[in-house]
Chains A and B, each alone.
Chain A
Amino acid sequence: MSLTVVKGLQSEIYVPVTPAPVWAPVTKKLSEMTIAIATAAGVHQKDQERFNLAGDFGWRKVDDSYAPDQLMVSHGGYDNSDVNRDINAMFPYERLHELAKAGVIGGVAKFHAGFMGGGGNIQKFTEETGPAIAKFFVEQGVDAVLMTAG
Chain B
Amino acid sequence: MQRAIEQAGIPTIIIAALPPVVRQAGTPRAVAPMVPMGANAGEPHNIEMQTGIVTDTLKLLEELEAPGQIVPLPYEYHAQI
Contact = CB atoms under 8 A, between A and B. Distances in A.
Interface of A: 16, 18-26, 29-30, 35, 38, 40-41, 78-83, 85-86, 88-92, 95-96, 98-99, 104-105, 115, 117, 125-126, 129-131, 133-135, 137-138, 142-150
B22 A131 contact: no
Contact of B12 (A16, A30, A145): A145
A24, A38, A99, A130 — which one has the most chain B CB atoms within 10 A of its CB? A24
A83 B39 contact: yes
B38 interface: yes
Contacts of B36: 79, 82
Most buried by A among B1, B6, B47, B55: B1
Contacts of B55: 99, 104
Contact of B16 (A85, A96, A149): A149
Given A22-B26, A23-B28, A30-B61, A98 B51 contact: yes
Contacts of A30: 58-59, 61-62
Contacts of A23: 6, 28, 66-67
